[in-house]
Homo-oligomer: A and B are copies of this chain.
């Protein structure tokens, strides 16, 4: 009853890109309860794709492929899979019409090579691609073996998986029982520390708990298997409650939540607004906030104060404060937060200033030192945080954004706790 993943692309064999698709699909298969025993990568080579597909058909029930669905001569996945089972390709008029409509909507020319993407093996079902031009397929060329094909572009692959493949797989009978899972999200705690807090839970067979670490964020995946979805959910609920109790305020949300979405939702319920002033993150904090649909209800805007002159001119940071403390300091972060809050008239304001590197570090102010200020109705307060310089500029900026949002999240929680005591 097991599955395999076959990723097709010479760029993977050349080490040009990391195989993030295999990891993502592996995680999805695990959450669906579909056992998965092998991953393979081959290049854009017809004979080797045919060989790999035939081998997989002899070993597994389900083969997931990525890559090779585009319009160029290198894209030969569909053709090779059809050839592996001596099946002719047939043009699907509805797919060709969809491709023509998408190109027209984008004002792009309709080139002849695009038409190849409307060819699928005789008997295969279309696996629709809502965003890109190349669809995939769901095809059982021989009894007991099904292949699902996806493009290599991660956003298209993931959207197709969620919209069509995951529901199909749930109905397919390939999953052993029904799985329910929840991803709990944490900030401000190390993966090893969290793992120790829940060490006893990591051992149990059902529901299972597995830790994952990302950039600053730590996650625990809870997965329960049962005969029905309701029974699986019932296994998850007490486990989630127990983990949240142990992790306390470190747990900020679950599943599709982000720090930004959680903070925006709290502010929306409170009828409050937010502005930002950014130096080292250069706009990344605003971008993280506005990545959440509907952010405009709460987020008013901000100032990217990269140069010191902008800090003075647009945020009214006093020149003597910059001169005496330097741009990377608590007094300047506080002046930035107060300045943007006043200028924009928001309830809350976050400000960040730091050394993202790789240059610009000193002994007193090393790469990775960031000052984060939060201004609100009760005043302003800045605190420094050190991320260390070894993991690079992107890492420091990403952690700064999370840390700033987490400060606001904790401040909101604290003010609500204080109110409920009154």
Contacts and interface: CB of A to CB of B under 8 A. Distances in A.
Interface of A: 10-20, 22-30, 36-45, 48, 52, 55, 70-74, 102, 105-109, 111, 113-114, 130-132, 153, 155, 159, 181, 183, 190-193, 195-196, 199, 202-203, 210-215, 221, 223, 276, 278, 280-287, 289-291, 293-296, 299-307, 309-310, 313-314, 343-345, 356-359, 386-388, 390-395, 397
Given A23-B18, A293-B358, A386 B107 contact: yes
B196 A111 contact: yes
Nearest to A25: B15
A385 B41 CA distance: 38
Given A16-B221, A155-B394, 13 more contacts: A14-B223, A18-B23, A37-B45, A71-B191, A72-B211, A109-B190, A111-B196, A286-B286, A287-B397, A290-B304, A301-B310, A309-B345, A314-B314
A38 B30 contact: no
Given A111-B196, A343-B314, A48 B41 contact: no
Contacts of A359: 293-294
Stoichiometry, copies per complex: 2
A287 B294 contact: no
Contacts of A287: 281-284, 286-287, 397
Given A284-B283, A295-B282, A393-B291, A19 B16 contact: no
Closest 7 CB pairs of A and B: A283-B286, A282-B290, A15-B27, A283-B283, A15-B26, A301-B310, A39-B41
A403 to B, nearest CB: 13
Contacts of A153: 213-214
A306 B273 CA distance: 12
Contacts of A392: 131, 155, 159
Contact of A14 (B26, B276, B309, B314): B26
Contacts of A108: 190, 193
Nearest to A105: B388
Contacts of A28: 15
A14 B210 contact: yes
A16 B183 contact: yes
B16 A102 contact: no
A40 B39 contact: yes
Contacts of A72: 191-192, 195, 202, 211
Contact of A102 (B19, B203, B302, B390): B390
